[in-house]
Amino acid sequence: MDFAQLIEKSELTTSGLYASLTKPALLYHNIDHTRDVVSACRIICDGTGVSGEDRAVVVVSAWWHDVGYLFGGPVDHEERSAEKAAEFLQAAGAPPSFIQQVRGCIMATKMPQSPTNELERILCDADLYHLGTVNFKPYTKRIRKEAELYGAKPISGADWRDSTIVLLRSHRYHTEYARAALEAGQAQNLGGLLQKQEEKEQERQKTATVVTMTQEPAIEASDAPREEKKKKDKDKEEKPARGIETMFRITSTNHIRLSSMADSKAHIMISVNSIIISVVLSMLVRKIEDYPHLVLPTIVLLLVNVGAIIFSVLATRPNVTKGTFTPDDVQQKRVNLLFFGNFHSMGLADYESGVKAMMADKDYLYSGMIRDIYFLGVVLGKKYRLLRISYTIFMYGIIIAILAFVGAIYLYKGK
């Protein structure tokens, strides 16, 4: 099956459908959005190493994933898109397994997204790629206008902003590449909306204060600013600072990502050195009697491999604490209930009681978040120190071992 030709046919066919059947209401889910999703799929495939038939599945799915809009409204458009894609692929002679994968990818984009494999995850991330880019604002305006046209009624800015905030808060990218490339941008876009929401709320409060002053002449003009200030201070106390919440969220996400990267680096080091050890033991040791001059270089190489493995294992070895706390620990704010190591051996009732106490105390809650981030950083520092030692041992040790082998062979030939 020529997958490049199949992709080209998909592009030509879907472009023709959009040109002949497009609707005025399709301000966002049109051929431009489809091309953006195809481009994002190719970027993510490049970043995740997906190629060949798997890449063709994703790209073909991207070309067809919103065609259902041309044959009906937004409701159940994924089903119609999957059906039209299947009809096209059957006519093109695509294998049944290929068609089934395309159908699965398209259906996975149905909100809330539900991908079950890597190809479906790639298409889902490509479909919502704009949430983490600078195109977020103009694109979301087009989506709002399209929703108004399909719903035949206007959507207020506040309602649209609130629903978009809910989407950004709940959405998580599925592929490792998209998380690394887009989560920071998504958090920034969320922060912008939260700031806009807070500004609008402050404007509303100012307007309400002016109306109250007009309707209640009993309040003297000199007291009005004081009353307004009290109201603002009260609102600030009751409403958590969204900027702080965003900061905690982004920082925690970055720490977790760095921890995952450290574990991957350690895994690479363990795998490489284990392979070298297995090769040395299976091939060289059996012939060591015939080449006694290679004994010392072999020992050096094995020591290097073992040393690198030891420090890599130490970097990933978990450290689990006792996992219990007392009511006095909660009362004195000595325990961080956001870290599993402090409660994994506790009963549900005791833990729930402690968490409720933390939720009722804003300072304790923020203190717990700060401690969580701090100790994540401490663990990261230890991991990367051990990894640096492991990589240093491997880098210089391999050089020394190779020089030892070269020197041994050279001296042996000279005898």
Residue pLDDT, tens place only, 212-234 = 555 555 444 445 555 555 555 55
| 235 pLDDT above the threshold of 60 | no
Contacts (Cβ under 8 Å, ≥6 apart) of 342: 321, 323, 324, 325, 335, 336
What's the confidence (pLDDT) of residue 340? 72
Average pLDDT of the residues in 392-400? 92
**pLDDT tens-digit profile of 10-46?**
999 999 999 999 888 999 999 999 999 999 999 999 9
Q: Are 127 and 65 in contact (CB under 8 A)?
A: yes
Where among 138, 163, 190 does a domain terminate?
A: 190
How many CA within 13 A on the CB side of residue 305? 19
The CA distances from residue 119 to 61, 82, 93, 100, in Å, are 10, 15, 21, 12
Same domain, 178 and 31: yes
Same domain, 185 and 273: no
| Amino acid, res. 223 | D
Q: How many structural domains compose the chain?
A: 2
**pLDDT tens-digit profile of 300-353?**
989 999 999 999 999 888 776 776 777 777 777 777 777 777 677 778 887 788
Domain residue limits at 400: 260-414
| 359 pLDDT above the threshold of 90 | no
Query: Pseudo-torsion of CA 66, 69, 74, 78, nearest 10°?
Result: -40
**pLDDT tens-digit profile of 148-207?**
998 888 998 888 998 999 999 889 999 999 998 899 899 999 988 888 888 888 887 777
Where among 155, 172, 190 does a domain terminate?
A: 190
Same domain, 306 and 403: yes
Same domain, 138 and 279: no
Q: Are 70 and 17 in contact (CB under 8 A)?
A: yes
Task: Tell me the average pLDDT of the chain.
Answer: 84
Contacts (Cβ under 8 Å, ≥6 apart) of 110: 78
Residue 35, in any domain of the structure: yes
What's the confidence (pLDDT) of residue 413? 75
Same domain, 275 and 402: yes
